Amino acid sequence: MLRSHHSGVIKNICLPFEKLIMRKITLDVVPDYEQLEDDCPRTTAIAALHGDQTPLTPLEDEFVFPENQSGQTPFYTFTREEVKALNIASEQVYNLLADSLDFLFDEKYRHLIPKFYGQEFIQAYPEFVDYAIYTFQNEHEAIYGRFDIAYDFEQGKVLKFYEGNLDTPTMYYDSVVMQHHLLTRLGQEQAQYNLHQENLARNIRKVLGPQERRIAFLCDTNITEDCITTELLFHTFNDHCDDIVLFSDINQLRYDFSSSRNKWTLDEIEVDVIFALYPWEDMVVDLYAESPNPLKEWRKWADKTRFLEPAWRWFISNKGVWAWLTYLKDVLAADDPALAQFVRDNEAAWQYVIPSYMEKPFWLKDYVRKPLQGRMSNNIGFYENDQLTHETDGFYAGDDCIYQAICPTTSADNGDTRAIVCTWLAPWDQGLALDMESSGIAVREFTGELLQVKHERFMPHIVTD
At 364-381, the pLDDT tens digits run 999 999 988 876 667 788
Report the relative pairing of strands 214-219 and 244-249 from DSSP bridges: parallel
Distance (Å, whole) CA 312 – CA 389: 35
- First vs last C-alpha separation in the chain: 13
> In whole angstroms, what separates CA 173 from the centre of its chain?
13
Give the pLDDT of the chain (465 residues) as one tens digit per residue.
Answer: 333 344 333 333 434 433 334 799 999 998 887 777 788 888 877 777 666 554 444 566 666 667 677 788 999 999 999 999 999 999 999 999 999 999 999 999 999 999 999 999 999 999 999 999 999 999 999 999 999 999 999 999 999 999 999 888 888 999 999 999 999 999 999 999 999 999 999 999 999 999 999 999 999 988 888 999 999 999 999 999 999 999 999 999 999 888 667 889 998 899 999 999 999 999 999 999 988 899 999 999 999 999 999 999 999 999 999 999 999 999 999 999 999 999 999 999 999 999 999 999 999 999 999 988 876 667 788 899 999 998 777 676 677 899 999 999 999 988 889 999 999 999 998 888 899 999 999 999 988 666 555 567 899 999 997
CA angle, 264 then 266 then 268, to 5°: 90
At 289-323, the pLDDT tens digits run 988 899 999 999 999 999 999 999 999 999 999 99
Do 430 and 424 contact (CB within 8 A), yes or no? no
Do 294 and 287 contact (CB within 8 A), yes or no? yes
Distance (Å, whole) CA 141 – CA 130: 17
In terms of Cα–Cα distance, which of 106, 117, 121, 128 is closest to 342? 106
At 180-221, the pLDDT tens digits run 999 999 999 999 999 999 999 999 999 999 999 999 999 998
Percent of the chain with pLDDT strictly greater than 70: 88
What type of residue is 127?
E
Do 183 and 462 contact (CB within 8 A), yes or no? yes
In terms of Cα–Cα distance, which of 460, 428, 439 is closest to 4? 439
What type of residue is 172?
Y
In terms of Cα–Cα distance, which of 68, 90, 70, 86 is closest to 78? 86
User: Global pTM?
Assistant: 0.91
**pLDDT number for residue 2:** 37
Rg (CA), the chain: 22
Q: Would you call 26 exposed, middle or buried from its count of C-beta atoms within 10 A (0-12, 13-18, 19+)?
A: middle
Do 264 and 276 contact (CB within 8 A), yes or no? no
Instruction: Spell out the domain ranges in the chain.
Output: 24-319+413-464
